[in-house]
């Protein structure tokens, strides 16, 4: 029976070239999942089922709860699909839930919002067990300055200055409704929530906040960066390893 299946997945993006298929790149999240689904469905060589994701994470970015959907014809139950996928997928991809969704459910177009977390580390010791998931800073950041600067980002604005795609033809207007910066010991976590994010947007915002934290410019300068609508005015792109997609809202 053909159904629209909604799935929740987690992955460690360290050794992947991002979510989306790329020519000549075997190690993509999408590619690995579609290959296993094709095997499960008994498809012939060259045939693959099409899966739709809530977003496209960059190479090296992680996800705690990415939502995908796929229309498939199978006699397997959702639990059997989940077990099959987890048996044959690489150890750094986990399928956490599979359920039958409404026929018109679309993981990307039905998404109302997303939460990302960027994790920073500053301390005397090395984060040995977290080294793949944090950005280690060489000097102490001014967290209060970061919080002041974050206020200028919040709202519905044209975030072209924070877009890593210089050839972006679609609208670069997005809504960022909250930025929460939490510090616990040597870990600093920045939580971003919005209705959608441009390519590299969270990483560029993080790099910009860090430049404020290192006193390269004052928090209010962030407003000028946004008004410029030019990538060259914003801060550096923070490394992918520190970024994790936490949740997608529906």
Burial of 118 (0-12, 13-18, 19+ CB in 10 A): buried
Question: What does the pLDDT average to over 217-234?
Answer: 96
CATH code of domain 113-249: 3.30.70.660
Mean pLDDT for all residues in the chain: 95
Torsions phi, psi of 39, nearest 5? -65, -45
Q: Which of 191, 188, 204 is nearest to 239 (CA)?
A: 204
Each residue's pLDDT tens digit, 47-56: 889 999 999 9
Establish whether domains 2-101 and 113-249 are of one fold.
yes
The pLDDT value recorded for residue 94 is 98
SS (H, E, C) 21-52: CECCECCCHHHHHHHHHHHHCCCCCCCCCCEE
In which band, very low, low, confident or very high, does the pLDDT at 118 lie, cut at 50, 70 and 90? Answer: very high
Domain boundaries, the chain: 2-101, 113-249
Beta strand 2-11 with 93-101 is: antiparallel
How much helix, strand and coil, in percent to the nearest 5, is found in the chain?
Answer: 25, 30, 45
Question: What does the pLDDT average to over 219-245?
Answer: 97
Phi-psi region of 215 (alpha: psi -120 to 50; beta: other; left: phi over 0): left
The pLDDT value recorded for residue 180 is 98
Each residue's pLDDT tens digit, 147-193: 999 999 999 999 999 999 988 888 999 999 999 999 999 999 999 99
Q: What is the DSSP string of 194-221?
A: ES---TTHHHHHHHHHHHHHTTSS-TTH
The pLDDT value recorded for residue 125 is 93
Q: Which of 204, 54, 223, 244 is nearest to 154 (CA)?
A: 223
The pLDDT value recorded for residue 76 is 96
Torsion of CA 49, 2, 99, 59, to 10 degrees: 10
How far apart, in whole angstroms, are the C-alpha atoms of residue 224 and residue 165? 20
* CA end-to-end distance (rounded Å), the chain: 26
**CATH 3.90.1150.10 fits domain 2-101:** no
> 45, 58, 65, 142: which one is catalytic?
58
In which band, very low, low, confident or very high, does the pLDDT at 26 lie, cut at 50, 70 and 90? Answer: confident
Catalytic residue check, 75: no
Spatial contact of 138 and 121, defined as CB atoms under 8 Å apart: no
In which band, very low, low, confident or very high, does the pLDDT at 78 lie, cut at 50, 70 and 90? Answer: very high
The pLDDT value recorded for residue 39 is 94
In which band, very low, low, confident or very high, does the pLDDT at 207 lie, cut at 50, 70 and 90? Answer: very high
Q: Which of 75, 72, 94 is nearest to 83 (CA)?
A: 94
| Structural tokens at position 198 | 């441009």
């Amino acid at each position: 029976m053909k159904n629209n299946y909604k799935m929740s997945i987690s992955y460690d993006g360290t050794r992947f070239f991002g979510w989306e298929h790329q020519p000549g790149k075997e190690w993509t999240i999408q590619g690995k999942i579609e290959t296993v689904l094709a095997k499960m469905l008994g498809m012939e060589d060259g045939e693959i089922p099409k899966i739709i994701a809530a977003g496209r994470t960059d190479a090296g970015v992680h996800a705690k709860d990415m939502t995908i959907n796929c229309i498939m014809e199978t006699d397997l139950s959702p639990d059997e699909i989940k077990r099959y996928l987890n048996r044959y997928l690489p150890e750094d991809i986990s399928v956490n839930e599979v359920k039958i969704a409404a026929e018109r459910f679309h993981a990307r177009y039905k998404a109302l919002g997303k939460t990302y977390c960027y994790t920073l580390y500053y301390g005397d010791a090395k984060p040995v067990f977290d080294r793949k998931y944090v950005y280690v800073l060489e000097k102490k950041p001014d967290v209060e300055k970061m919080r002041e600067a974050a206020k200028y980002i919040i709202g519905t604005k044209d975030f072209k200055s924070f877009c890593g795609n210089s050839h972006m033809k679609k609208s670069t207007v997005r809504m960022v409704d909250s930025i929460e910066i939490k510090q616990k010991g040597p870990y600093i976590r920045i939580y971003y929530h919005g209705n959608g994010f441009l390519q590299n947007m969270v990483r560029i915002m993080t790099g910009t906040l860090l430049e404020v934290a290192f006193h390269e410019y004052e928090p209010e300068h962030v407003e000028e960066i946004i008004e410029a609508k030019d990538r060259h005015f914003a801060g550096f792109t923070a490394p992918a390893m520190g970024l994790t997609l936490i949740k997608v809202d529906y």
